[in-house]
Amino acid sequence: MQRASRLKRELSLLTTEPPPGITCWQNENQLDDLRAQILGGADTPYEKGIFNLEIVVPERYPFEPPKIRFLTPIYHPNIDSAGRICLDVLKLPPKGAWRPSLNISTLLTSIQLLMAEPNPDDPLMADISSEYKYNKQLFLLNAREWTEKYASQQK
């Protein structure tokens, strides 16, 4: 019951006061199956891209973090081809930094920040990470191409 009321509160806040560039909603009226969209930030290779994410809220939420993954392919050192995201706040301690005081809005904002500032020292995609570190121009080119191909409006 506590989980449901907390989720309803979070969703209502996400609807009325969404973080800039982020939207989130229930998928087919399932309270534990959410969808989100993150707009690629200005001055990043993801600019003008719209990235869809899936959020699965576990039974033990907020004591366990939601499982969030990208549905839109993205060229990024911390996001793999299955859309899984390497980010400390998405994992439980001791390896992660998830706390029950965090919420879905905070997580989506953290993911948006990770998109703007990849962490090449904790990669899921080693090849993209080394490209980011040692050939930034090529990384930016590839990331822009992927954004255009998978995340742009002109279908």
Closest CA to 21 of 99, 119, 116: 116
Position 88, amino acid = D
Q: Is 86 considered catalytic here?
A: yes
Tokens of 102: 């965090």
Helix (H, G, I), strand (E, B) or coil at 80: coil
Answer for the pair 41, 112: CB distance below 8 angstroms, yes or no: yes
> Catalytic residue among 79, 86, 104, 151, which?
86
Q: Which residues participate in catalysis according to the annotation? A: 86
